[in-house]
């Protein structure tokens, strides 16, 4: 173990990430090692929250988001790794011998990303994901088999899935994103992400309110000055 290891829960989550990335397909190929692919992240409700593509291996790109946190999406508070519960990968092993800078590869991956993006929109109750950049329109294409797995160990999942924990975290993310917007000249896509996050926060807050009794519980409670 390293001299100054990260906390136990961080180590446990990283181990689960590696386990998902090491998933093998029917041909025995390690999915995370695919040079080209599309990936998606889902929150604790199974709601799709982010989609991306990679030309540098699925493993490398996903790690950057979730462990190294050295991507624009994380730095700009578009994506909070804390909210990611599941990841899904679409590897394109047929492209392994292609050069990543070619127009053909770019067009192929753009079309694949758009296809996955449309799939995620159809699954989302908000009809939106958190990507700040516009995903160019392409013709839909057949997708390879995808591989999905949970990256949160059961004991940590029980702590993080609680709606009050998620509300606090999401509100903090929105505050950070709002601060970024207030301090910089940003593209409209980032403001769209803020709107999507606000909708997600409101939905979770309202659901939690209803779970705790909702309007009926509020109206029936006694005022602090009322006699018992």
d(C-alpha 84, C-alpha 78), whole Å:
12
pLDDT in the model for residue 117 = 98
- What are 110's two structure tokens? 């753009």
Secondary structure (H, E, C), 164-221: HHHHHHHHHHHHHHHHHHHHCCCCHHHHHHHHHHHHHHHHHHHHHHHHCCHHHHHHHC
Please, which pLDDT band fits residue 199 given cuts at 50, 70 and 90? very high
pLDDT in the model for residue 208 = 97
Going from N- to C-terminal start, the domains of the chain cover 8-153
What is the tens place of the pLDDT at every residue in 31-77? 999 999 999 999 999 999 999 999 999 999 999 999 876 778 888 89
Edge-to-edge strand ranges of the sheet holding 37-42? 48-54, 37-42, 86-91, 147-150
Burial class of residue 39 in the structure, from the number of CB atoms within 10 Å of its CB (0-12 exposed, 13-18 middle, 19+ buried): buried
pTM: 0.93
Predicted confidence (pLDDT) at residue 130 exceeds the cutoff of 60: yes
Counted residue by residue, the chain has a size of: 228
What is the tens place of the pLDDT at every residue in 86-110? 999 999 999 999 998 899 999 999 9
């Amino acid at each position: 173990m390293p001299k100054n290891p990260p906390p136990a829960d961080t180590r446990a989550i990283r181990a689960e990430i590696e386990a998902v990335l090491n998933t093998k397909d029917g041909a025995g190929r390690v999915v995370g090692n695919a040079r080209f692919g599309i990936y998606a992240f889902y929150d604790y409700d199974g709601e799709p929250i982010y989609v991306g593509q990679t030309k540098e291996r699925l493993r490398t790109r996903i790690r950057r988001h979730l462990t190294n946190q050295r991507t624009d999406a994380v730095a700009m508070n578009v994506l909070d790794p804390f909210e990611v519960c599941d990841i899904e990968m679409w590897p394109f092993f047929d492209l392994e011998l292609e050069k990543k800078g070619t127009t053909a590869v770019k067009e192929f991956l753009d079309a694949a990303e758009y296809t996955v993006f449309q799939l995620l929109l159809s699954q989302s109750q908000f009809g939106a994901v958190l990507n700040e950049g516009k995903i160019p329109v392409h013709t839909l294409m057949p997708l390879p088999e995808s591989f999905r797995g949970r990256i949160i160990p059961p004991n940590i999942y029980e702590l993080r899935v609680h709606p009050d924990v998620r509300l606090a975290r999401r509100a903090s993310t929105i505050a950070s994103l709002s601060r970024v917007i207030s301090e910089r000249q940003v593209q409209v896509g980032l403001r769209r992400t803020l709107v999507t996050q606000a909708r997600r926060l409101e939905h979770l807050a309202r659901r939690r309110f209803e779970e705790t009794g909702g309007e009926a519980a509020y109206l029936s409670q006694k005022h602090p000055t009322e006699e018992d």
